[in-house]
Amino acid sequence: MNNSYNAGGSNRRDFLKNVALGGACLAAGANALAAPGIAPQWKNQIGLELYTVRDLLAKDYEGTLAKVAAIGYKEVEPADPYNHMQPDEYKALLGKYHFKMFSTHADAVAGPGLEKELEGQARMGLKYTGVQAAPGTHQHEQRTIASVQRRCAEINKNAAILKKFGMKYYIHNHSGEFDVLDDGKTTEYDILLKETDPALVAMQLDIGWAYVGGQDAIEMFKKNPGRYELWHVKDAKYKELDPKMTPTQRMRHAKITAMGEGDIDYRAVFAQAKLAGLKHFVIEQDTAGQGGRDAVADCKIAYDNLKKILA
């Protein structure tokens, strides 16, 4: 993207950005004084990223959804191709268990069928989706400032198409997005925030991977208020990791745990939900069902622990 602009315009934009940021922080501080604690609605919309129970879904999709619903989850985010169902069928299946679905990790696919697929996603109620390259067209490209800028341009282009269907493009992170790029100081995440259009693109912050990658979610909210409309709520043992490791190395050595069994202070994180711009969140545990526990049992532990945190 073209980063050249006149100095006057730059100063004006910087001034307006600072005013907006200052206003958001002041508003957040005022709200914290007026109504300390966590907004009451969050405990009533706890969602689950269905990747957490992926192995169980493969054996008994509807039966697994029924178990997740019985725990108390209200929202879901699929990571599979909607059980290979048509949009109306899948929406009906979710409705049977009173689930709402606002975001997905089963992205639409670029190509001639894109808009038809987006129409179906919108019909299911989705408000956030992505667009992946058609099979056989994606080529792995080393991450550099230039390559990430090209990715941002493609995201903005696809996000403009999503807008026609009432949806926004989401950007999800792992830990590698916080590795420094070829200038030795800028990260991929820096560029994603700077060069994607906030009106069209929402950040889906995987809070667990962010902390594993050496970030502080609350500081991220303060630097870019309102950008983090979606969260992946994941817990991890990250404090035991060697701080000299790169974010990618830390991710390889991280221990993902059930919610409430890791190091992340989610009470403090949710207290800043308004500043972040949070609209929807889902619990995700990549390791659910490992270590001798059933994945659904891990989901119940996560739900119960988060419910207490949000009380």
pLDDT tens by residue, 81-116? 999 999 999 999 999 999 999 999 999 999 999 999
pTM over 0.75? The answer is yes
Which three-class secondary structure state does DSSP give residue 50?
helix
State the average pLDDT over residues 60-70. 98
Give the pLDDT of residue 18: 45
Query: Are residues 60 and 20 part of one domain?
Result: no
What range defines the domain where residue 225 resides? Answer: 39-310
Query: Are residues 257 and 114 part of one domain?
Result: yes
Query: Are residues 203 and 156 part of one domain?
Result: yes
Residue 33 has pLDDT above 90, yes or no: no
Question: Which is nearest to 201 in space by CA: 169, 179, 226, 233?
Answer: 169
Which range is least confidently modeled, 15-29, 73-87, 152-166?
15-29
Residue 27 has pLDDT above 90, yes or no: no
State the average pLDDT over residues 303-307. 98
Q: Residue 179 in contact with residue 205, Cβ under 8 Å?
A: no
Give the pLDDT of residue 37: 73
Q: In angstroms, rounded to a whole number, what is the distance separating the alpha carbons of residues 167 and 156?
A: 13
Query: Are residues 17 and 143 part of one domain?
Result: no
Give the pLDDT of residue 40: 83
Average pLDDT, the chain: 90
Query: Are residues 188 and 294 part of one domain?
Result: yes
Residue 266 has pLDDT above 60, yes or no: yes
Structure tokens at 132: 């992946």
Residue 309 has pLDDT above 50, yes or no: yes
Residue 10 has pLDDT above 80, yes or no: no
Give the pLDDT of residue 17: 43
Q: Residue 30 in contact with residue 182, Cβ under 8 Å?
A: no
Residue 32 has pLDDT above 90, yes or no: no
CB-count exposure of residue 104 (10 Å: 0-12, 13-18, 19+): buried
pLDDT band, residue 75 (cuts 50/70/90): very high
Query: Are residues 32 and 68 part of one domain?
Result: no
Residue 140 has pLDDT above 90, yes or no: no
Give the pLDDT of residue 251: 97
> What CATH number has the domain bearing residue 166?
3.20.20.150
State the average pLDDT over residues 159-188. 98
Count of domains forming the chain? 2
Question: Which is nearest to 193 in space by CA: 162, 226, 160, 216?
Answer: 226
Residue 200 has pLDDT above 90, yes or no: yes
pLDDT above 70 covers a percentage of the chain that reads 88
pLDDT band, residue 141 (cuts 50/70/90): confident
Residue 255 has pLDDT above 70, yes or no: yes
Residue 283 has φ and ψ, to the nearest 5°, of -75, 140
**Backbone CA torsion sign across 165, 168, 173, 178:** positive
Query: Are residues 53 and 21 part of one domain?
Result: no
Residue 203 has pLDDT above 60, yes or no: yes
State the average pLDDT over residues 187-195. 98
Query: Are residues 2 and 137 part of one domain?
Result: no
Q: In angstroms, rounded to a whole number, what is the distance separating the alpha carbons of residues 122 and 160?
A: 15
Query: Are residues 26 and 45 part of one domain?
Result: no
Query: Are residues 250 and 103 part of one domain?
Result: yes
Query: Are residues 278 and 266 part of one domain?
Result: yes
Give the pLDDT of residue 292: 86
Question: Which is nearest to 229 in space by CA: 169, 144, 139?
Answer: 169
Query: Are residues 9 and 45 part of one domain?
Result: no
Q: Centre a 10 Å sphere on the Cβ of residue 235 and count the other Cβ atoms it contains.
A: 25
